Amino acid sequence: MITKDQEYQIVSFLDSKRLYPQLHLEVKDHFISQISHLMENEFLSFQEAFLATKISWKNELEMVRADFFSFKKIAKIERTVLQDKFRKMTVFSFIFSLAAFVLMMVDTDVFVTLQILLLLSWIVLLGYSFLTKKMRFSNYMMLSFHPLLIRNILFGIALIFIAGTFKYDYNEIIDSQISNLLIVYCVTVELQLVYFNSKKINVLI
């Protein structure tokens, strides 16, 4: 049975890893369960069981860079969770952008309306987050340099540069289409980032 003092030692250790609240609670439960098992079945003292548990979790709790485009360090287990979430956000934004591209080919006016609705949705969600104090100005500034957005912008610039290397009369049209799709893609990503942040789901803001 874990005492309050022993639980405090576990929490203090996990606090040093700066885990996101939900993940902190989940890992804490695993720690308590694993330590209790070792104490009851292996007849180890708390300190011995605690040390054995920390060693078994050493790889998952190693502090690493959150992303190639981020200088923030987080536990490896949290990076795994974040990268999985980022992949899902990227796939959703990509599929949405492809649908928008098809729409742009069919009806430009409807595509423009879609862009306006996306921007309005982003403004409303951002305003709601500020008014309800679910997002601070510092969070918003960090959002502007989010790894997902930086990666997307660099990718978009690369596409425009590649398109510009081909000397066709319709280069300007291609550049315009890429720019429009990049805007849709980035706004879709930002909408998800702001939404998850308002729900207190970790997205590295």
Neighbours of 34 (CB within 10 A): 16
| pTM of this structure | 0.79
pLDDT tens-digit series, residues 90-143: 899 989 988 988 888 888 888 889 988 998 998 999 899 889 888 888 888 888
Contact indicator for 75, 19 with CB cutoff of 8 Å: yes
pLDDT tens-digit series, residues 36-91: 999 999 999 999 999 999 999 999 999 999 888 888 889 999 999 999 999 999 89
Higher pLDDT, 183 or 161: 183
73 torsion bin: left (phi>0), alpha (psi -120 to 50), beta (else): beta
pLDDT of 168 > 60? The answer is no
The contacts of residue 136 (CB under 8 Å, 6+ apart) are none
H helix runs in 73-146, sequence order: 76-106, 108-131, 137-144
Higher pLDDT, 30 or 135: 30
User: Mean pLDDT across the chain, nearest whole number?
Assistant: 86
